[in-house]
Amino acid sequence: MTRRLASVFLALALYLLPFALLSPSARAALPVQSLVVLTPGTIIDHSVRVRPDTYRLPSASLDAPALRIRGDDVTVDLTGVTLEGADPSADPDTLAGVGILVEGSARVTVRGGAVHGFKVGLLGRRAPKLHVTGADFSYNWKPRLWSGIEKESLVDWLTYHHNDQDEWLRYGAAIYLAECDDAEVDHTRAVQGQNGLMVTRSARLAIWNNTFSWLSGVGLGLYRTTDSVIESNKLDWDVRGYSHGFYNRGQDSAALLMYEQSSRNTVARNSATHGGDGLFLWAGQSTMDTGQGGVNDNVFFGNDFSHAVANGIEATFSRNHFEQNRLDDCWHGVWGGYSYDSAFIGNTFSGNTDGIAIEHGQNITIAGNRFAGDETAIRLWANASQDPNWGYGKARDTRSRDYVITQNEFSGNKTALNVLRTTGVRVEGNAYANVATPLQTGVEVHALNFEPLSGRPAPVEAMTVPANPHAMNAKLPDGAMRGRSTIIVDEWGPYDYRSPKLWPSGKPGDRPLKLRVLGPPGKWTLKSIRGGTAGARAGDVPGELTVALTGRGRDVQVALEYVGGEVVMPRGAVIQAGAPVAFSYTAFDPVIDWTVKYWSFDVASDPMAAPEAFAARLRGVPVKTEHVPHLDYLSSGAIAPGVPFDRVALRAEGDVRLPAGSFELTVISDDGVRVWIDDRPAVDRWSVHESAIDRAAVAGGPHHLRVEYFEMTGWAELQLRFTRK
């Protein structure tokens, strides 16, 4: 080696020596100097900054990510980077794969950037101390929804009850973390997907200052996740299964989901409004089977769970503490089935159907709360019977008993307290103003002590949860849009009011048709209309447009142009203020006079096991015949008056004349269905199944339709609808 080379190596060694002496965590905190360009299959194993740019890098599966991060003590700075898995205009239910995979690595930091167009934006597996900060994981996967304005579909119901094998991944997520102890997620955003942040089998996380809103499933979900702090996050309008004035099911969507032994967490100062549930807490299937464990010893402090379409808080089969939370305008402020050793202290309830509703609860304290305008402030009861084979019921005492209800304020309630089949209720030191019925009791109520108070109740000792000094105020500001009436769920999830939209103000079949013109403040003008005449040619946004429909049925398209403020389209495109934006409303419902005949069948004429006997049954005299304009059934009982609940079949026939063009027939069924178009088979799903979707292409012109359907047991669904291609 020459003397000159030796001196170079010596200088380099002296330069690197201070870095070599640093701890791994200290090295990870150093400024990132390396600059890389992403290409298909990129693997990053050391700290880098990615060159700011937009990268289109599709991913085919969860194990073939667009970007893989490997190694310990790695920081990847994505500031100014957009990573796309598909064209931004692609339908969200076609998105696939993973944007970023961090697997088997410790102390990885992902900073900044935007990741769109994947089934999962970031997947962390066995990655302790993973830190995700300042990133945007919006506009990732979500399914098309089939629940309409007037009636829902069972297709859209979610189930998160099992996740020990990462079953939740089928639903996608902006961020999904599995076995990531001590992870931190902060200052990160995800909107307009199905799920925000989903965490499983992890402990001691810090989740704060994030926005996981306007999602069609879950804002933040925990499964077997413990000892974590969830503070000052915006989890608003995470909802599906709602049509204002028609149904409020929620379909198991939630702002915050806590399942299966997720215990000892602190949930403080979050905004979790306008969800299917605000909080959906369930002990888990292991508890249902054994009676052991639960989602226990969590503290919920200072959160806003208002405007949930089902329950502001659903907390079941568990013990927890709820203090200083806000619960307005929900079906139930709290649904606490089989909760025990729990406390509800210093919360505010307003305008709920039930403020607190608890079945089979035990050892519950309800103290220092304010109930204003709820129909029933507190409802306590036990059911007359339970399934004798139920594991939980066999393992535990499930009587409704032992409540302390003290120092609460009741005002403007129809009923303050309703008690049924419950023992040991002590009610004292509460104040009542303009309450029609302070106490209502039913059967089997024992050892109830009711002592009304004429003055103001004494204050209740309050707990304190220290605030993170760097946390934002996540709550909706004064004067912000609020109320369940603001929830609009279309075929892609909750509408966020950032783009112009036409939406029926009543039923889509109303005549005349009244359309709400929604979006940022601005002006609209009519560009074209089919199937009716408009009551105005221009107007303000927000506003309303009346359309007088022509002819029978509905074949209407109203096209408007918006000019006003900045627009953010549902898939993320930003249109500057003052630029014209086209938007429209379409509806297609052709006239069909269906003749429907119903039959019952038995085991001997089972439609699958005995097809010949079933066919013979349908040649016999039906139990009922009727004429209906739509095939639209959804029921847990009889699908039509006068027919059996279960083991019922129908045959429907009708004629339709479609205008020129191409159309699609969509069939949703639970259970078996067959459809013929002009005596040619078009759909054949002849089985017992949960609600499923089939489609068939149909050309314009006259057609004869024939449908055969059977329902075996449980829920029944049959829906047929046409759409223009």
209 φ, ψ to 5°? Answer: 60, 35
In a domain? residue 654: yes
What pLDDT, on the 0 to 100 scale, is given for residue 173? 98
Amino acid of residue 367: A
What pLDDT, on the 0 to 100 scale, is given for residue 34? 65
In a domain? residue 43: yes
Judged on CB neighbours under 10 Å (0-12, 13-18, 19+), 502 is buried
In a domain? residue 48: yes
Secondary structure element (H or E) that encloses residue 476, with its range: none
Identify which of 63, 60, 49 has the alpha carbon closest to the alpha carbon of residue 104.
63
In a domain? residue 550: yes
Q: Which two tokens stand for residue 259?
A: 């399942």
Antiparallel, parallel or unpaired: β 247-248 and 242-243: antiparallel
Q: Which two tokens stand for residue 331?
A: 């079906």
Residue 584 shares a structural domain with residue 603: no
The model's pLDDT over 675-687, given as tens digits with 9 standing for 90+, comes to 999 999 999 999 9
227 φ, ψ to 5°? Answer: 55, 40
Tell which of 550, 570, 588 closes a domain: 588
The model's pLDDT over 361-389, given as tens digits with 9 standing for 90+, comes to 999 999 999 999 999 999 999 999 998 89
Q: Which two tokens stand for residue 76?
A: 């990847």
Residue 567 shares a structural domain with residue 533: yes
Residue 552 shares a structural domain with residue 661: no
Q: What pTM was computed for the model?
A: 0.92
CA–CA gap between residue 685 and residue 670 (Å, rounded): 10
Residue 648 shares a structural domain with residue 685: yes
Strand runs labelled E in 249-353: 254-259, 266-268, 277-282, 298-301, 311-316, 320-323, 326-328, 332-335, 340-345, 348-350
C-alpha pair distances (Å), 604 with each of 195, 564, 601, 643:
46, 66, 8, 19
CA–CA gap between residue 674 and residue 707 (Å, rounded): 6
Identify which of 119, 260, 143, 274 has the alpha carbon closest to the alpha carbon of residue 199.
260
Tell which of 588, 612, 633 closes a domain: 588
Q: Which positions ≥6 away from 463 have C-beta within 8 Å? A: 299, 301, 321, 323, 345
CA–CA gap between residue 254 and residue 215 (Å, rounded): 9
Tell which of 114, 134, 154 closes a domain: 134
Q: Collapse the DSSP code of 167 into the 3-class scheme (helix H, G, I; strand E, B; otherwise coil) and give the result.
A: helix
Q: Check which CATH number belongs to the domain holding 672 and give it.
A: 2.60.120.1560
Residue 514 shares a structural domain with residue 582: yes
Q: Which positions ≥6 away from 396 have C-beta within 8 Å? A: 291
Count of residues making up the chain: 725
Q: Cβ(501)–Cβ(514) under 8 Å?
A: no
Q: Domain count for the chain, please give it.
A: 4
Antiparallel, parallel or unpaired: β 376-381 and 624-628: unpaired
Residue 621 shares a structural domain with residue 674: yes
CA–CA gap between residue 138 and residue 123 (Å, rounded): 14
Question: With the CA atoms of 38, 43, 45 and 46 taken in that order, what torsion angle do they form, in degrees rounded to the nearest 10?
Answer: 0
Strand runs labelled E in 120-248: 120-125, 131-133, 173-178, 184-186, 189-191, 195-203, 206-208, 211-213, 218-226, 229-231, 242-243, 247-248
Containing domain of residue 600, as a range? 594-724
CA–CA gap between residue 242 and residue 249 (Å, rounded): 6
Beta bridge partners, 574, equal 568
In a domain? residue 156: no
In a domain? residue 704: yes
CA–CA gap between residue 133 and residue 122 (Å, rounded): 12
CA–CA gap between residue 392 and residue 380 (Å, rounded): 20
Residue 59 shares a structural domain with residue 12: no
In a domain? residue 323: no
Q: Collapse the DSSP code of 65 into the 3-class scheme (helix H, G, I; strand E, B; otherwise coil) and give the result.
A: coil
Residue 37 shares a structural domain with residue 117: yes
Residue 521 shares a structural domain with residue 578: yes
Residue 97 shares a structural domain with residue 122: yes
Identify which of 313, 221, 226 has the alpha carbon closest to the alpha carbon of residue 264.
226
Residue 37 shares a structural domain with residue 80: yes
Secondary structure element (H or E) that encloses residue 238, with its range: none
Secondary structure element (H or E) that encloses residue 395, with its range: helix 391-395
Residue 42 shares a structural domain with residue 110: yes
Q: Which two tokens stand for residue 118?
A: 């994947």
In a domain? residue 671: yes
Across the 725 residues of the chain, what is the mean pLDDT of every consecutive 10-residue run? 33 33 42 78 96 97 96 98 97 98 98 98 98 98 95 95 96 98 98 98 98 98 98 98 95 97 98 98 95 96 98 98 98 97 98 98 97 98 92 94 96 97 95 96 91 78 90 96 97 98 92 96 98 96 96 93 98 97 96 97 96 96 96 94 95 97 97 97 97 97 98 95 92
Cβ-count burial 14-33 (b if 16+ within 10 Å, e if not)? eeeeeeeeeeeeebbeeebe
